[in-house]
Structure 1
């Protein structure tokens, strides 16, 4: 009876979302009618074709419905067969854990790919205008203006901090150039009580939640006000106040952590979910596969957001996987999934908004693959022109900029104009420059902070290391910065 009620409630929620959001097209993956480009096994996605695949919005997105794959196999619950593999033998079935399996006399292997690629959900065209009959979650003027303000702020902060690194004022930096919509729109679609388990290219989520320019600058300079006490690389932000787990450089290790956090929220019956981000390269790590399976089996309310920007540092996606991107991997593990235009802020906002309702309301994981492009270098230690064409980078920078596209939309609504634009950019630049100067002048954390916050009582080996470091500094003071208190 409990199972029956649960299924009724789940169906009711799904029905409500269909009428409210209009995003849940209950379509089988095998019946996709919209193709992004030619079959990937025939034409691998190398650098230039990846860019060209997006140059014709009419062929790529005009007919693209949202394709949340509606059904997963429910761990130990019986379910109906999604795909037809021919008639069964005298209607005979095997009652196997997970659901009945039909017998067939025909030997048929499951294809390694479908004939058509999974289409990409899109709302705004290149001119910032919604497609006819497009379905998306309505955004108020106030939310839309804040989204645009934060995208501009993030873009400006990246430019100034990147220049500061090039001037030798900070040691390391990476930008979110070209991926501002994923940052800000996804943050706008979730709640502050939701746990965010980031990779390293999501500072916009913190910005949306109220992390100040001064807090960003303090972390990058590793000064005394830095919450990490100078013990993290620049851009490895973290904030308990904002439910934002501290960034770690290691790839995909955050994904199982996010599932664990989501499962804890579920156990505590919280009206919240966990949201975790990763790049296309992260799908090559074992932690990605473990996390998807872990989340499906435990039915954890977690949203996986994959930023498929075509390049994992210098490795193109054609060398990362032979499948149709990351979205198809969700179905393999029983995770509802969708592919979204990552440069369309309205599409990202709508998809994440719907994903959150399903994750919490139905108690299930959701996978979102956002197709975007990393316009900047991977980090300040990288020169991406060595492995990808300059004209490809410029095409994305000039014609597919998510900030420009969203600005056109709010201007068409009468919510924005050139005068407000100039005032915003001038004000933001002054704030960031002031924060950078203040962070640079601030005192560094004391040497003792290197050895704290792990053990309640420091063990003998750490005490010996601290003593040795202090003695070395006394002998060679010229080799250590003078603004670090001893």
Structure 2
């Protein structure tokens, strides 16, 4: 005899009791049905010319940075480089949407965002050169170490943002991740903690279509990645990731919302990785040239250039000046990267913990002894 069959037992209810109700109204959290756009719309007229010029300059500089870093891999100066060509609007907007006191948590593909935030271009490549674990002081520009493991930077961003709020610091964390990273457990854990704690953090998903060779359709059946926000109780925003002003506006609004105590936001920027996953990848094995060319027609630099030209904010001299500035940056990068770095093996132990553990001290002493022995040979 079951509980339901006991005399006087209440009838079994296959649905929750009437007292159940949603904890959060899902309607305001849902993203727009189409990616938000600014370029080519009336909204473009509302953007300050100074901001558009800054975005354009950084986009051109970023494109040249990508091509130069890719060339350095072919010359043996970099071990690997994951290019963000085609995604420059996301990279630049993420950096410019933050205040100096905020923190950026990049993935391995987000060197351009770190450079746009002020990081030395060579230091941003040091990890990919194989010289240091990170290559820069994260505190200087408030840029966390470039994260090679997928999505592990997201819980770190939530923890920092939550701690800042507990301390009363007016700080927002912006964490960047690719569409492949949304298939990792760290992504879901980070969103859940962020929403429960109402942490001042913004998640930017750069949906470039592929997790290496795996297309998005084989990763998720959701209407969009932005829809995943609703399941955790935060707003989801969908934006054209090649529309630099649109990405900047959406991220700026999300940052402002987080700063005033409104909690986290998940932003999906729909973009495309024009180059291969890295220099070790053969993208022709999983996508056709026609697909790539279709996205080249939606190039973020050309889109912004056309808008600014039509509004009289950019002429041939402006285009030439931006290109010359970018070329100067690339020349300096080549010169510095072509010089062999002088490395101290003992640096392996310098930035692991604030205070070295007994095990690290033991390992450091062992390495020092081996180096001294080699010097005596």
CA distance in 1 between partners of 2:241 and 2:251 (Å): 11
Query: CA offset at residue 204 of structure 1?
Result: 3.0
Query: CA offset at residue 410 of structure 1?
Result: 1.5
Query: CA offset at residue 169 of structure 1?
Result: 2.3
Cα contact 2:32–2:237 (8 A) shared by 1: no
Paired residue secondary structure (2:140): coil
Question: Residue 424 of structure 1: which of 302, 306, 322 is its match?
Answer: 322
CA distance in 1 between partners of 2:34 and 2:68 (Å): 37
Question: Residue 302 of structure 2: which of 392, 399, 404 is its match?
Answer: 404
Q: Which moved further from structure 2: 265-274 or 250-259?
A: 265-274
Q: Alignment RMSD, CA only?
A: 2.8
Q: Which has the higher contact order (CA 8 A, sep 6+)?
A: 2
Question: Residue 119 of structure 1: which of 23, 27, 34 is its match?
Answer: 34
| Structure-to-structure mapping, 1:7-156, within 5 angstroms | 93-94=18-19, 98=23, 118-124=33-39, 129-130=40-41, 132=42, 134=43, 138-156=46-64
Describe the superposition over 1:100-123 as per-residue Cα deviations: whole angstroms up to 9, x where unpaired. Answer: 9xxxxxxxxxxxxx9x99322112
Cα contact 2:200–2:263 (8 A) shared by 1: yes
Query: CA offset at residue 141 of structure 1?
Result: 1.9
Is residue 363 from structure 1 mapped to residue 262 from structure 2 by the alignment? yes
Paired residue secondary structure (2:141): coil
TM-score (norm: length of structure 1): 0.67
How many residue pairs align between the two structures? 354
Question: Residue 464 of structure 1: which of 340, 355, 366 is its match?
Answer: 366
Describe the superposition over 1:295-348 as per-residue Cα deviations: whole angstroms up to 9, x where unpaired. Answer: 111010110110111100011111111112211110011011111110111211
CA distance in 2 between partners of 1:386 and 1:97 (Å): 46
| Structure-to-structure mapping, 1:275-424, within 5 angstroms | 275-397=174-296, 399-424=297-322
Paired residue secondary structure (1:174): coil
CA distance in 2 between partners of 1:370 and 1:264 (Å): 27
Query: CA offset at residue 186 of structure 1?
Result: 2.6
Query: CA offset at residue 471 of structure 1?
Result: 4.5
Paired residue secondary structure (2:114): helix
Structure 1 runs not aligned, ≥5 long: 1-91, 101-113, 223-229, 476-486
Query: CA offset at residue 277 of structure 1?
Result: 0.6
Question: Residue 193 of structure 1: which of 82, 101, 107 is its match?
Answer: 101
Query: CA offset at residue 156 of structure 1?
Result: 0.3
CA distance in 2 between partners of 1:396 and 1:450 (Å): 42
Q: Which moved further from structure 2: 420-429 or 251-260?
A: 420-429
Describe the superposition over 1:371-415 as per-residue Cα deviations: whole angstroms up to 9, x where unpaired. Answer: 111111111111111111122112212x11011101111212212
CA distance in 2 between partners of 1:154 and 1:462 (Å): 39
Question: Residue 75 of structure 2: which of 167, 170, 173 is its match?
Answer: 167
CA distance in 2 between partners of 1:237 and 1:147 (Å): 25
TM-score (norm: length of structure 2): 0.85
Q: Say if 1:422 and 1:95 are closer, same or farther in 2 by CA, change over 3 A.
A: closer
Partner of 2:11: none
CA distance in 1 between partners of 2:189 and 2:158 (Å): 10
CA distance in 2 between partners of 1:429 and 1:185 (Å): 21
Higher normalized helix content (fraction of residues) = 2
Partner of 2:115: 207
